[in-house]
Amino acid sequence: MFYSRRLNRETNLVEVWECEWSNRGSRMARKEFIRRVGNEGEVEFAHENYCAAAAICWAPGRTIGNIAVNSEEVSGVFEEAAGNDAILPCQIIPCGKFRNGAVRWYCKTHQMHWGTLADLAAIPESGEILCGNHMLHMSYVVNPLDIEFNGYEEIGIWCSLPPGMSSQLIHRRPPKIHVHKRFSSSEEKVLDRDFDAVICSYNQNLGLFLSTDITKIQITPPAAFEFIRSLEEGRKVDCVSCKKCGYPHLDLGDFARRPHAKHFCGNCGNDSVWSQGEIVSTPLKPLHDQFNNSNTYIIPERQLNLDQYSGMPFDVWASTPAVVWTANRPQELGIHVHVYEGYRRIVDETFSEVIFEGRLLDRNLLWQSMVANTIY
């Protein structure tokens, strides 16, 4: 059960309805309006009372927004375990008034305001309120990996990007989330692979955010990519929370490339969220900073001559900062190399210097190539 809003054309009032999905989990899923709760503004209604669906959704390349989209409404529209073609229902909530005094609304799913004369004119025959981005295709993962930090000595979470150089054709692709876990630094990893998106669960006593209700952080490809890109390129990164709803703000796209002081809350639509100074805001920053060695780096005393592996396939990256690094040792900063012999990886290490065709590789150029090979 979840809530949606529709306009009563006879009274011209916005009504709140309880809804359910019929044909759940199929492409023919249909939203059914079950019971009218009352008129907006006349009933006590907890707008945050949406059960979290077992899915993470995000819109690649969006320039504003929350850490991700997550509501009970999204659970009726997924056919696969993951995809990039979900069309999600609007989640409309009240959001103050326009300057002319008219009631203003906000779509939490597609992160845009609603309520102009053009919006009212575009209401369909059903009366259901839909924002201008309601047909936007979004990426999703159903039942994503939920990472808890108890019991593991070492957890590393990175933004996985295409290589900057390879012996084979590099296929451009979106970012992914790479996770490794191990119980002890001397043992083999129990997990070491890429995911489309993950959830990090933590104890709310850490006080990471203004809202103490937040105990999970969703790490999506756009959020992870912009975070490590800002760190790599030297922008000031912090996290500002909305004074109205307490939710942390996430800058994406153009807003993540230019530090600024005025921000737009993707959770409640408040467009006057101010930070102390110009920053790129992301909820990943407080999580990142919780661990002692997250911002400590060493350059490894290792060199590699790729020419000694002539004829063998290889991939090369500029090593990037981890989104989360819980190990009791610094991260290594350098050039990461994989060399393969058949299906076996015979080199998997970070080096301070790498030689290819008699020349030293430039880490900065590798990073630029990785960004160019990333679809975002």
pLDDT at position 187 over 90: no
pLDDT at position 182 over 60: yes
**pTM summary value:** 0.84
**Nearest one of 70, 63, 43 to 247, comparing CA atoms:** 70
pLDDT at position 50 over 50: no
199-239 pLDDT, tens digit per residue, is 888 765 667 777 777 778 889 999 999 999 999 999 999 99
Our CA angle for 217, 219, 222, nearest 5°, is 135
240-289 pLDDT, tens digit per residue, is 999 988 889 999 888 999 999 999 888 888 988 999 999 999 999 998 99
Q: What is the mean pLDDT of the chain?
A: 85
pLDDT at position 327 over 60: yes
pLDDT at position 65 over 50: no
Q: What is the DSSP string of 234-263?
A: T--EE--B-TTT-PBPEE-GGGGTS-EEEE
Domain residue limits, the chain: 2-140, 145-289, 297-372
End-to-end CA distance of the chain: give it in Å, rounded: 34
Provide the phi-psi class of 99: left if phi over 0, else alpha when psi is between -120 and 50, else beta: alpha
Least confident of 70-74, 152-156, 312-316: 70-74
Confidence class for position 53, pLDDT limits 50, 70, 90: very low
The confidence score (pLDDT) of residue 51 equals: 34
Are 358 and 306 in contact, with CB atoms under 8 Å apart? no
3-state secondary structure of 295: coil
Q: What percent of the chain has pLDDT over 90?
A: 41
320-338 mean pLDDT: 93
Least confident of 21-30, 254-263, 321-330, 364-373: 21-30
Separation in Å, CA 219 to CA 9, 225, 226? 41, 10, 11
Pairing of strands 273-281, 237-238: parallel
For the record, the structure tokens of 360 come out as: 């030293």
